[in-house]
């Protein structure tokens, strides 16, 4: 008799709890906020002092940049690392320009607005690795140029919404992507002792490392060559770089070296190593190349990217990014980098959290934020 009463009561109770749970999630009633905050903590998405406590990192000991001399020294080390020369001045005066095809036809962009013409820029590098960029020249120009770097995801055609947005705002745009990706080639190379292999992954670049060549050069050299061409052929008032994912990483590293880049924007591009607590955040060859980060760690790269007269470095994170660098880990270093640049008295640093979507992308909200905060 007791069981006959107890079992239906339990079933009814489970049903009530289930319906209540659905209501909490659907209508965000009590205790939705408490449960959501607890989930954030479990994911490492904590805020403010909690993030500082959990990550336990002495940022002062990691950032060895206290004056302009330190800035110059770090940049010199980076230049030597990538190009094996002593100064960016020497790199800029190497007589290397891209191959240029003027006013090309590419039907994929026929519907673009405020577009006068497209020029194709090809940079050929060691081991026959190349980089193909499109120079989108607007009908109406504000005399400012943006490098748009699409990253790992494929052809920069996938970033056509971003390119069109900047054209709509009268920017000239150089669109590019990472080596071996999109229109860039995947050459077959001969490696001593290993034979021939086709380069299809950045992780294979380790096989090309030697005392006289650093394959990390593949990631940033094309920007350098394109920049030299643009300065020679045009008279732009300001240069900016905006990158997504691996392109965001590229925007950080290149702007840390070359202060001709006034505004650098990294979207879902990196976080310091001490915050990489998920496998998806570890990154590939370029994100984890220890020889680079022994010279200049991520926090120092952020300082270098933002430092200089009228210079700015912006990081945009997608709160619910399914790929990488989601959550609020950036809160552990945001104000530290701002304070360090304030002490150096040149440049600035901003972070914007985009909670308007659940994608690995540059959203319309992010684009509007960028447009308001560069130039």
The pLDDT of residue 157 is 97
Query: Which region among 16-20, 129-133, 222-226, 282-286 has the lowest average model confidence (pLDDT)?
Result: 16-20
Element (H, E) at 52: helix 48-55
Q: Which residue has the tokens 């308007």?
A: 356
Residue 287 pLDDT greater than 80, yes or no? yes
pLDDT tens-digit profile of 126-165? Answer: 999 999 999 999 999 999 999 999 998 899 999 999 999 9
Quote the CA–CA distance of 223 and 229 in Å, as a whole number.
10
Give the CA count within 13 Å in the CB-facing half-sphere of 305: 29
The mean per-residue pLDDT over the stretch 318-347 comes to 94
Residue 239 pLDDT greater than 50, yes or no? yes
Q: How many Cβ atoms sit within 10 Å of the Cβ of residue 143?
A: 12
- The alpha-helical segments, DSSP class H, found in 234-278 are 246-257
**List of E strands, 52-104:** 99-101
The mean per-residue pLDDT over the stretch 192-202 comes to 94
How does the average pLDDT of the chain come out, rounded?
87
Query: Which region among 83-87, 117-121, 162-166, 281-285 has the lowest average model confidence (pLDDT)?
Result: 83-87
- Which 3 state secondary structure label does DSSP give 370? helix
State how far Cα 304 lies from the chain centre. 15
Residue 31's pLDDT band, with cuts at 50, 70 and 90, is very low
Quote the CA–CA distance of 137 and 267 in Å, as a whole number.
24
Q: Taking a C-beta distance cutoff of 8 angstroms, is the pair 224, 258 a contact?
A: yes
Query: Which region among 290-304, 322-336, 352-366 has the lowest average model confidence (pLDDT)?
Result: 322-336
Total-model pTM: 0.84
Portion of the chain with pLDDT greater than 70, in percent: 82
The pLDDT of residue 42 is 36
Residue 300 pLDDT greater than 90, yes or no? yes
């Amino acid at each position: 008799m007791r069981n006959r009463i107890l079992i239906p009561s339990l079933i009814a109770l489970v049903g009530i709890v289930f319906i209540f749970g659905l209501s909490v999630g659907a209508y965000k009633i009590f205790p939705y906020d408490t449960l959501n905050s607890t989930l954030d903590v479990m994911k490492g998405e904590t805020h403010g002092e909690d993030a500082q406590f959990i990550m336990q990192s002495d940022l002062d000991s990691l950032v060895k940049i206290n004056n302009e001399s330190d800035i110059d020294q770090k940049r010199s080390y980076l230049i030597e690392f990538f190009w094996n020369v002593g100064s960016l001045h020497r790199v800029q005066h190497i007589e290397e320009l891209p191959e240029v095809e003027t006013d090309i036809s590419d039907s994929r962009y026929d519907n673009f607005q405020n577009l006068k013409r497209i020029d194709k820029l090809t940079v050929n590098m060691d081991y026959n690795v190349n980089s193909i960029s499109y120079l989108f020249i607007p009908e109406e120009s504000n005399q400012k140029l943006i490098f748009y770097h699409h990253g790992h995801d494929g052809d920069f055609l996938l970033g056509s919404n971003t390119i069109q947005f900047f054209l709509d705002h009268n920017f000239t745009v150089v669109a590019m992507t990472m080596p071996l990706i999109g229109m860039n080639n995947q050459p077959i190379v001969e490696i001593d002792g290993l034979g021939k292999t086709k380069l299809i992954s950045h992780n294979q670049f380790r096989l090309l490392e030697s005392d006289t060549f650093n394959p990390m050069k593949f990631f940033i050299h094309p920007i350098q060559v394109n920049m030299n061409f643009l300065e020679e052929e045009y008279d732009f008032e300001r240069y900016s770089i905006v990158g997504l994912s691996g392109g965001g990483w590229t925007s950080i590293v290149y702007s840390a070296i070359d202060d001709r880049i006034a505004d650098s924007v990294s979207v879902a591009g990196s976080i310091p190593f001490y915050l990489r607590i998920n496998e998806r955040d570890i990154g590939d060859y370029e994100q984890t190349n220890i020889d680079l980060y022994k010279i200049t760690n991520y926090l120092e790269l952020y300082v270098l990217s933002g430092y200089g007269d009228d210079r700015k470095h912006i990081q945009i994170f997608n709160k619910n990014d399914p790929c990488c660098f989601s959550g609020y880990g950036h809160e552990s270093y945001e104000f530290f980098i701002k304070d360090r640049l304030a002490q150096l008295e040149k440049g600035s640093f901003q972070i914007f959290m985009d909670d308007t979507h659940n994608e690995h992308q540059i959203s319309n909200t992010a684009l509007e934020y960028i447009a308001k905060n560069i130039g």
